[in-house]
Amino acid sequence: MMIPDNVFEQVVPAVNPHRTATPTSHFPFPTVTPDIPKVYHQYSTDVGHKTLWVVCIVMGLSSLSFYAMAMRVPVQKRLLHILTAFITTTAFLSYYAMATGAGIDYHTTIIKESKLHVVTELVRRQVFWARYIDWTLTTPLLLLDLSLLAGLNGASILVLMFSDVVMVLTGLFAGFARNEAQGWGWYAFACLAYLNVIYQLGYNGRFAVSGKDNKTKAFFGAISLFTLALWTIYPIVWGVADGARLVNVDGEIIAYAVLDILAKPVFGFWLLLTHDSMARTSPSIGGFWAHGLSSEGTLRVGDVHGDD
């Protein structure tokens, strides 16, 4: 919703009624009235608020399902389940924060100035910064899911996750930019970081999975393409919502809600159900993950006897 408003405060100097006015000039003193900028307010309504609650419930139920699915497989096969459950749990907390009024701020952006650099138009729009915290934590975990599935090497995983964090944080900086030019500059940096995500996952990931069985290769190709296609829509939504403000805040909430449900719960169920059906070829981790620290060289109660 966009509501123009001219908000200003007129300051009138105090006058002492007991003081006698003494003219100091025969010429009238000119009155200067500063230009008042026009302010456009953009905020969510009941539609957006209800949408946040719906997604919050979906994320919560999905998290419970993923934890239950984790308990049904051996601990060696449980890593993807735990990572996926962490993704939706974090999203649940984020949407709960936004639905209850936390994780939200207003940001003012200059959209028009005069030739003398006097601000004439401003827009004050809601920014859901809790969403960016969610993405900073969940998108690296999601990429880690895909990296483990493909068998990507550690160096590529590190570069992939760093590029992802840069992408999200520069998007946050763009959302709080002082003016449009600065905002689109941060947006460009975010897009460049995303191109590296595509390269690491699409090219290096495809090369890494090429040595695996046909079923794993086909599954990785499908789910990674699904993920990258969804993630490509996110910057488009930002561009028409926070960036160009062609979409109101309710439309922004609904668009991100649909994308988040597809990119997290739907992705999670697809990944884990397929993973469980490929029990013999799915990633398996032993060692400390499955068995804890080795008992060799440790001191246990009853091993040492003192002198009688």
User: 298 lies in a domain?
Assistant: no
Number of domains the chain contains: 1
Kindly state whether residue 124 falls inside one of the protein's structural domains. yes
Q: How far apart are CA 274 and CA 253, in angstroms?
A: 30
Give 46-58 as a DSSP string. Answer: HHHHHHHHHHHHH
* 157 occurs within a structural domain: yes
Q: How many Cα neighbours within 13 Å face the side chain of 131? A: 23
Which among 8-22, 26-40, 77-91 has the top mean pLDDT?
A: 77-91
Residue 12 within any structural domain of the chain: no
- How much is the pTM? 0.80
Q: What CATH number is attached to the domain comprising 84?
A: 1.20.1070.10
Residues 21-61 pLDDT 10s = 444 444 454 554 456 777 777 788 999 999 999 999 999 99
Residue at 5 is within a domain: no
11, part of any domain: no
Place of tokens 């096969």: 77
Domain limits at 143?
36-280
Question: Considering the domain boundaries, does residue 45 fall inside one?
Answer: yes
Q: What is the pLDDT of residues 206-258, one digit of tens each?
A: 999 998 889 999 999 999 999 999 999 999 999 999 888 889 999 999 999 99
Does some domain include residue 173?
yes
